[in-house]
Amino acid sequence: MAATAPRPTTRKRPADVSHRRAAGRRDRVQWKGYLYALPALTVLTVFLLVPLGQLVRISLYHWDGLSASTWAGLANYTEIARDPQLRASFGHSFVLIFFFALVPIALALVLAAVTTRAARLRGVSVFRAVIFLPQVVAMVVTATAWTAVYAPEGVLNQALNAIGLESVGRSWLGDFGTALPAVGLIGTWLEIGLCLVLFIAGIGQIPRELYEAAKVDGAGAVREFFAVTLPGLRGQITVALTLTVIAALRTFDLVYVATHGGPGNATSLPAFEVYNRAFNTGQVGSACAIAVVLTGVILLLTFLITKLQPEDDES
């Protein structure tokens, strides 16, 4: 496994060579290549690009989903900027990024570093499967189970009562102060397994010699983590960050099942607003505009995250 470690210099040179070599006959190769890409491109166009175009088009109209629509121009977009409730819903999804992405990645890094120090762990595959389980369980099930945990007479409050913390207990999903963090912590629980599995696999690919060298140089556990493990996991961290940030931004089912965006609008999220406006309140144009903005935000953040990735790591 140590042999697969990417070395920046060895990778770059052949790329430059092929670049020069291909220059002369680029055109012929190119068109043939497109022919191979055609089936994939057709599927992509029919099922992704055309609907995306329709989404953009509908977002420029006032439409109740049934009767004739009227031209709205950018009114649906300016509404997003003006409506405090919609702006708040985007704000909430950034809070969720903290719980869905930053917390799980930080925790998973620590856990991964600790578990890999135990050189030979018995039943490590069972352990991995268990930790990955939240990702496998359907979100509706997860949300329902957590709703029971957070309920006024739920497991969490019972546990708090048992250790004499009655005063802390509350209706976690019904309290304006705790509802959003409570939803966020469900996300933390969900994503931590994914991050951990990614990181454990990543650490496996870091050359053992680096750890031995660190040991020879007298590095302790903390020093070793920052000097060897963390830099070695840059690629995995980027992947984890991309997946979890997208999961945070497009969260819908969790809120739909657990809180309906409540209490008040304390846990309303853009994706939930899209659903609600399109299917419940007959504001399809506005729903599409929110969807377009949400797509834009996700694309932008994903783009920024890829900038974190090491330049040469294109795999």
Binding residues vs other proteins (CB under 8 A): 11, 14-15, 18-19, 22-23, 26, 29-30, 33-34, 37, 41, 45, 49-50, 52-54, 56-58, 60-61, 63-71, 147, 150-152, 170-176, 179, 259-265, 276, 279-284, 314
Query: What distance in Å separates the CA atoms of residue 170 and residue 159, rounded to the nearest whole number?
Result: 12
The minimum distance between CB 65 and other proteins, in angstroms, equals 6
Nearer residue to other proteins within complex by CB, 47 or 94: 47
Instruction: Report in angstroms how near the CB of residue 197 gets to other proteins at its nearest.
Output: 27
Q: Which is nearer to other proteins, 127 or 252 (CB)?
A: 252
Handedness of CA 67, 68, 74, 78 (dihedral sign): negative
Helices (H) and strands (E) in the chain, counts: 17, 2
Backbone angles phi, psi at 249, to 5 degrees: -70, -30
Based on CB atoms, which residue is closest to other proteins, 18 or 158? 18
CB 89 within 8 A of CB 269: yes
The torsion angles phi and psi of 256, rounded to 5 degrees, stand at: -60, -45
Which of 301, 299, 102, 271 is CA-nearest to residue 191?
A: 102
What's the chain's length in residues?
315
User: To the nearest whole angstrom, how small is the minimum distance from the Cβ of residue 308 to other proteins?
Assistant: 20
Residue 222 Cβ vs other proteins, minimum distance, rounded to whole Å: 36
Token code pair at residue 34:
């497109």
Q: Cα-flanking dihedrals φ and ψ of residue 155, to 5°? A: -60, -40
Q: Which is nearer to other proteins, 151 or 210 (CB)?
A: 151
CB of 291 to other proteins, least distance (A): 14
β-bridge partners, 301: none
Contact of 191 with 100, CB cutoff 8 Å:
yes
The residue type at 124: V
Nearer to other proteins among residue 88 and residue 111 (C-beta): 88
Nearer to other proteins, 30 or 213 (CB): 30
The minimum distance between CB 109 and other proteins, in angstroms, equals 29
